[in-house]
Structure 1
Amino acid sequence: MEEYNSISDTIMESSRATPVVLSRRNLAAILLTTCLSSFATPYISSGVQIALPVIAAEYGISATLIGWVPTAFLIPYAIFLLPFGKIADTWGRRRIFLGGTATMAAGIAIAGLAPDFWFILAGMTVAGFGSAMTFATSVPLLTTNYPLRERGKVIGINTAVVYIGLSSGPFIGGILTDAFGWRALYLVAVPAALAALAAGVLFVPRDTGLRQEQGLRFDATGTAVYAAGLLLLILGASRLPAFWAFALVIAGTAGIAGFLIWEGRAVNPIFPVRTFVGNRPFTYSNIAALINYSSTYAITFLLSMYLYYIQGFSPAAAGTVLVAQPVMMAVMTPIAGRLSDRIEPRLLATTGMAIVAAGLFALAFIGWDTPVAAIAGILLFLGFGYGAFSSPNMNSIMSSVADSRAGIASATAGTMRVLGQIASMAIAMTAFSVLIGTVVISPEVADELLRAISASFVVFGCLCTAGIWFSYARGDLRAKG
């Protein structure tokens, strides 16, 4: 009961921390602004995957080197999420959001107009840095401006946009790349980012009620340890199952552990470990998010390989099948978000996680003769589960902390997403390495490819099943009785 009362007190503190009452028009403009920005980041990070073969062919880039295009985006995005969450809580979310949106737009434009391959890497790095700034602040801008009773609804809408960008990136990217070339993939995102910047300047209010920490020193040591540990973890996970990659993963994990120990003792930590110790809804919700992304991020990659090599689909045709998932997510996520304002988020999220686990096990049984309609049906089923899980889970994360910690809470959730994406691809690549080897994927190894895909989905299903417990065991946000 003490834990429930503590969480309830935190929510009440959050509701009191919004001193400015905005008009419905202004609130709608803030929602549109954050959604435009929230779409661009996952769209670029996922959509570029389908254009990599075309980019490699144009510049004569090896398979190993071309993999650095998404990695160049991922590394700064992952490393700077937490630091910018802390900076935004202290110095103002509006300025970090606007600066990040401008930086992201510049990076996307550099990549789209790149005269050579190295400019693409530079543009992706700049875009990743800017995306860390925007993702650390977009959800806090919603939760600190909208009234508490609408928090689940707006989180649901924003989360739907993130998932749509993540899942529709390959679909849109495939069509644009086929029709206009790979540069169009980048350049169509620039107007959306600039529109978000303009709307942010006009409608996002200046920050009030910031934490009075400006006189304290920034935790540079903790930031450096965190950056080094996460960098080693990302580099190692992306090169598994090589022996040296395992060594990097171990070193990176040790670095993250050292970071948490340091933050527990730091005077002004970028991640307030002591604040979150004992906050079960926050901790377990983030673990559930990590497991969810670890189980699901590689679905698009695996099914695109299946549809291309096993079913013989073109990239555009494969993208058309894969769009079934984000369509259902777009429908379900706002509904689940709104329901989480009235029903305990853990009940909705746990149901969604169970549905996703069932869908993953179903995908483990696809074969040579599986009808495309059956695959689309499973994707719709998965999309329903995603929607039921994602926005209630994010509502649980953001509602379990005070508004003064909203930036850190959002950045933590974003970091779980990135780490989950890394883990998901590492699992898939390990299955490919063990069951296919180092040969180039081609129709000649289609049987081995199908076994690797099935094995990956079995692992993902088991992992997601474990996540059901964390989702349910987080506890209720609202006080009992």
Structure 2
Amino acid sequence: MSAETTAEETPADLARGETAGRARPWTLALACVAMFMLMLDVTVVNVALQDLRTSLGASFAGLQWVIDSYTLALAAFLLTGGSLADRLGRKRVFLVGLVVFTLSSLAAGLAQDVVTLNIARGAQGLGAALLFSVGPALIGHEFRGADRGKAFGLFGAIAGLALALGPLIGGLLTDALSWRWIFLVNVPIGLLALAAGMLWLRESRQPATHRVDWFGMLAFGLGLALLVLGFLRGESSGWTSATILGCFAVGVLLLVAFVLIERHLGDRAMFDLSLLRIGTFSGVCLATLLSNATSLAAVFLQLSYVQNVLGYSPWDTGLRLMPMMMTLFVVSAVTGGLLAKMAPGVLIGLSIAFIALGMGLMVLVHPHSSWTAMLPSMIVTGIGMGLFNPPRAAVTIGVVRPEKAGMASGMGETFQQVGVAIGVAAFGALFHHKVVVAFTASQAGSALGGTAHTVGQAVATGGTTTLSGSVAPGQLTAVTEAARSAFVDSLSSVMVLCAWVAAVGAVIAFVWIRRRDLHESAQAPVAAD
């Protein structure tokens, strides 16, 4: 150390630098562990859905609620989580999130009916909201410039690893033990992460604090819940019924009220509307919403096809999903190095374009195809999903100064989870409707007379695996053939629609996301776009 350096640095400065040096790897590690648990819960739940259906007697809408109760709570509380983190302290909110997520995972693993499970999943979503919103902000506070890009690259790779291992872990736990262990496995991990966080995380907050925006949170959460409820119940209650139209109307009105509340609160709002005037922030939020609405809905439907039509067990389903998940992991692991070399709009636009192309390739699957017909779709989709998350997370918080990273992260993650909740509900409802219509219109369905609609609903929920107990033996072969065709044809048409919606997201990313909108703390030493 030079004499000049010694003269300028006080013992307090050196102590702070040493503390920061120790905190950085622990901060990154804990954010990655939290992300691993949260992303793992997405894919392990998906492969266990059919076991949940038989164990708890859940309907197709009940299975959608297993996903949507989690994502609804996640979306509803993300903004509050980011806002609370900035105001009360990111370490404190992160640790509270770990406690809530761990306890609710225990409750989900012990649930005896689907209603209790979905309540526990909602509580999981609350804990996940705190972790989702704070994790990227903790990384953004500790890392700057090119180091931030590398940190987010690792962060994205861990998320990709969780998605990659999720189907195998979920299949193994479900087949070897029980579906309950896909939730119970979070308990020891959460306890260890909590102990490490208490010891090693550094506290950070935004100096200017305001009261929590409870009215805004209530309007947003209820509005979103009513929209999703309308999609989930539309098929059974009737799309033009007073109940469903009322859900959509009141949901939209509450979301409009939410915008008005946030505008009235100004800088005290949990949703900073001024950020939406930044083209890059609006672009990444809209692109994220469209990408997640389509890709996660597509995975939900693909897993249903593999298990309910092809007849694979959870473990075998997990194995057949590995080409997509391992591609996702490998690509996300190398994407961090691209953040400083490529324009963010180009990188995010390319990622969503790959996702759109991958979903479109599901047209290669026919009623009598083997699972290998899905390989082109899975690999191309995996490339897109692997490219997507690291630049999305970095750009979302990169447009604001570091002390407002919690709010920006919460807003970005909200668009992500709103996309999942609405996408799974809307595209799942469309798929369910198409299967029922296609089956009842078939020759075998017409021969069933008044029971065709009921059998069609069973096909949409459980594929061809549930037909033997509901159809006469003499009709079983013809009905199974019609059910298979209705299921696969409906899947292909919904996937094509998903591809077109995702393509719109890619165009938005190419046009709106620009490096010059990023805050100086997020700028890397590269040439301008």
Q: TM-score, normalised by structure 1?
A: 0.88
CA spacing shift, 1:222–1:20, aligned 2, 3 Å = farther
Q: 1:156 aligns with which of 149, 153, 156?
A: 153
Q: 1:82 aligns with which of 67, 79, 82?
A: 79
Residue equivalent to 1:14: none
Residue equivalent to 1:51: 48
Residue equivalent to 1:324: 323
Q: 1:195 aligns with which of 184, 192, 199?
A: 192
Secondary structure of the residue that 1:255 maps to in structure 2? helix
Range moving further from structure 2, 312-321 or 82-91: 312-321
Q: 1:439 aligns with which of 451, 454, 457?
A: 457
Asked if the contact 1:240/1:430 (under 8 Å) is kept, the reply is no
Letter in 1 for 2:202: P
Q: CA deviation at 1:257?
A: 2.4
Query: Which runs of no fewer than 5 residues in structure 2 stay unpaired?
Result: 1-15, 438-455, 465-479, 518-527
Cα deviation digits, residues 336-366 of structure 1 (max 9, x gap): 2221123221111112222222211111231
Residue equivalent to 2:451: none
Q: 1:223 aligns with which of 185, 206, 217?
A: 217
Asked if the contact 1:397/1:409 (under 8 Å) is kept, the reply is yes
Asked if the contact 1:359/1:378 (under 8 Å) is kept, the reply is yes
Residue equivalent to 1:407: 406
Asked if the contact 1:150/1:338 (under 8 Å) is kept, the reply is no
Letter in 1 for 2:428: A
| 1-structure distance, mates of 2:271, 2:129 | 16
Aligned residues: 459
Secondary structure of the residue that 1:49 maps to in structure 2? helix
Residue equivalent to 1:10: none
In the alignment, is residue 102 of structure 1 matched against residue 120 of structure 2?
A: no
Q: CA deviation at 1:420?
A: 1.3
Asked if the contact 2:213/2:270 (under 8 Å) is kept, the reply is yes
CA spacing shift, 1:153–1:422, aligned 2, 3 Å = same
Letter in 2 for 1:83: T
Residue equivalent to 2:428: 428
In the alignment, is residue 302 of structure 1 matched against residue 301 of structure 2?
A: yes
| 1-structure distance, mates of 2:311, 2:112 | 33
CA spacing shift, 1:341–1:199, aligned 2, 3 Å = farther
In the alignment, is residue 35 of structure 1 matched against residue 32 of structure 2?
A: yes
Secondary structure of the residue that 1:238 maps to in structure 2? helix
Q: CA deviation at 1:457?
A: 1.0
| 2-structure distance, mates of 1:237, 1:114 | 25
Asked if the contact 1:346/1:393 (under 8 Å) is kept, the reply is no
Residue equivalent to 2:377: 378
| 1-structure distance, mates of 2:492, 2:352 | 20
Secondary structure of the residue that 1:405 maps to in structure 2? helix
Letter in 2 for 1:284: G
Residue equivalent to 2:352: 353
Cα deviation digits, residues 291-346 of structure 1 (max 9, x gap): 11112112222222322344343332122111222211111113222211232211
| 1-structure distance, mates of 2:308, 2:112 | 32
CA spacing shift, 1:253–1:455, aligned 2, 3 Å = same
Residue equivalent to 1:418: 417
Q: CA deviation at 1:65?
A: 4.6
Q: 1:471 aligns with which of 466, 489, 509?
A: 509
Range moving further from structure 2, 87-96 or 411-420: 411-420
| 2-structure distance, mates of 1:65, 1:353 | 30
Q: TM-score, normalised by structure 2?
A: 0.80
Asked if the contact 1:340/1:392 (under 8 Å) is kept, the reply is yes
Give me the identity figure in percent: 25
Range moving further from structure 2, 23-32 or 419-428: 23-32
Range moving further from structure 2, 439-448 or 157-166: 157-166
